[in-house]
Amino acid sequence: MDAFLFQVLAGLATGGIYASLALALVMIYQATHHVNFAQGEMAMFTTYIAWSLMDAGLPYWPTFLLTLMVAFLLGVAIERLVIRPVEHAPVLAVVVVFIALLVILNSVTGWIYTYTLKPFPSPFPEEPLWGIRYMSPHEIGAIGITLLVLVALYLFFRFTPLGLAMRAAAQNPQSARLVGIRVGWMLALGWGLAAGIGAVAGMMVAPIVYLDPNMMGGVLLYAFAAALVGGIDNPWGAVLGGFLVGVLENLLGAFVIGNELKLSVALVIIVGVLLVRPSGLFGTVHVTRV
């Protein structure tokens, strides 16, 4: 029983990280109807920036905040410079751009930092928090940070005029323009936010898996599975899907198929969802008129 609980709780911690990245995917999907395959590499790249800042002597939390800002600007810049020019291009062209972005970010990082694993610090203490022995302090902290990010995003989108404008621009760009919303900038802002969320996910996962240019490959796959389970157009579903996939991955890995095959869980989930319920558990079913 102890072992079971242990795996569930550990699954929740990584699940939070999948949830964050899944949310970033959903945000961009809602606004553009594209899946940003480079989301994971963007997160990885910004985590390296955090590593550099700390390597230069900056303490953890200032680094954390600075990295969020850098990630935000990077996201905005990528949308403006790379995505904007292919706005009206065919889907396949856009996919190619995303893949190119993925490969470029990966190889540039490898070229700057090499492919050797680097340890990445956790901001949370070593010794058990509040005497909790089922979860490491980093796991508890990662869940806490994830929830904090989610709550902040919820408040932003629900209660601020800018958040409302971003939702409006994603839903109905034409009408959004007619009330004076600068839709292009809203998209760029969405990319900035998504990149910021990804950076948090990267900094939370790096202490667990070590920093390496390929560290987000698996995470992105799980996040993609999470987004699909939840319904690619439903932020709440994506978050729930993230936690679900995290727990499932851990339980199956520990008790059923072993750790070596864990990643295939993500693939099975993806294929399963696409076959059985393409709109996800919580997504809206789109009926196309013919």
- Chosen residue from 17, 68, 165, 273 binding another protein by CB under 8 A: 165
Stretch binding another protein (CB under 8 A), from 68-76, 160-168, 191-199, 219-227: 160-168
d(CA 228, CA 91) in angstroms, rounded, equals 19
Nearest CA among 155, 128, 143, 103 for reference residue 239: 143
Of the candidates 17, 7, 8, the one whose C-alpha atom is nearest the C-alpha of residue 216 is 17
Helix (H, G, I), strand (E, B) or coil at 97: helix
Least separation in angstroms between CB 88 and another protein:
14
3-state secondary structure of 211: strand
Residues 172-201, interacting with another protein (CB under 8 A): 172, 174-183
Window of 78-86, 147-155, 162-170, 219-227 that interacts with another protein by CB under 8 A: 162-170
| Residue type present at position 213 | P
Nearer to another protein, 116 or 171 (CB): 171
Amino acid at 251: L
CB of 243 to another protein, least distance (A): 24
Nearest CA to 70 out of 173, 200, 181 is that of 200
Q: Which sign, positive or negative, has the C-alpha torsion 236, 277, 32, 201?
A: positive
**Residue 116 makes contact with another protein by CB under 8 A:** no
For residue 159, the minimal CB distance to another protein (Å) is 11
Binding of residue 161 to another protein (CB under 8 A): yes
Of 114 and 175, the one with the shorter C-beta distance to another protein is: 175
- Which residues make up the interface to another protein (CB under 8 A)? 161, 164-165, 167-168, 171-172, 174-183
